[in-house]
């Protein structure tokens, strides 16, 4: 399992902040079939490779939220997967991120909450394929409690994980 991650993925992923949330808002009430994308019973070598990939993806996700913290949503969108760019325009993505962040205020402490691998069946507005969600528990200045930030990656046809979405709840 040697999925490549480009170094520019950090910028790419940070741009897709509103893509996943926009797609989720457009999804009909029928829930897609979600299955874990990671098979059970991996060898030690396969598990080590998966752990390394997850660490790299988590770092890219961290870079993306930092870009969003710096009001660089447009740069994040520029590096997003073609899947993300079909779902939401650059301007709509930038506006969505700015709107969501304005309500919450400046980000403060951010704690990683984990990584989840999913495989969607293609129902709804997201294409079938493998996805990774990286989650953060984040304190925002104007929020009463912490918020869950989620950065989503999609395994494109060229076997490169690319940013496709960001949401904050």
pLDDT tens per residue across span 59-98: 999 999 999 999 999 999 999 999 999 999 999 999 999 9
Query: What domains are defined for the chain?
Result: 9-168 (3.10.450)
SS3 content of the chain, % helix, strand, coil (to 5): 40, 30, 30
Helix, coil or strand: residue 117:
strand
Q: If you compute the radius of gyration of the chain from its CA atoms, what whole number of angstroms results? A: 15
pTM (predicted TM-score): 0.78
Confidence at 125, pLDDT banded by 50, 70, 90:
confident
Confidence at 36, pLDDT banded by 50, 70, 90:
low
Q: What is the pLDDT of residue 23?
A: 38
Helix, coil or strand: residue 103:
helix
Q: Average per-residue pLDDT in the chain?
A: 82
Q: Specify whether the CB–CB gap between 81 and 16 falls below 8 A.
A: yes
Look up residue 106 and give its DSSP letter: S
């Amino acid at each position: 399992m040697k999925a490549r991650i480009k170094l520019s993925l950090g910028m790419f992923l940070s741009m897709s902040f509103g893509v996943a949330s926009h797609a989720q808002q457009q999804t009909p009430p029928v829930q897609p079939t979600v299955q874990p994308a990671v098979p059970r019973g991996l060898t030690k070598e396969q598990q080590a490779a998966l752990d390394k990939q997850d660490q790299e993806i988590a770092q890219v996700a961290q870079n993306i939220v930092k870009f969003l913290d710096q009001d660089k949503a447009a740069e994040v969108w520029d590096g997003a997967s073609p899947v993300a760019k079909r779902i939401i325009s650059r301007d709509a993505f930038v506006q969505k991120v700015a709107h969501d962040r304005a309500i919450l205020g400046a980000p403060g402490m951010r704690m990683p909450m984990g990584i989840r691998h999913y495989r969607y069946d293609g129902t709804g507005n997201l294409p079938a394929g493998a996805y990774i969600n990286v989650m953060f528990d984040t304190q925002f200045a104007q929020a009463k409690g912490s918020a869950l930030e989620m950065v989503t990656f999609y395994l494109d046809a060229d076997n490169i994980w690319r940013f496709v979405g960001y949401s904050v709840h």
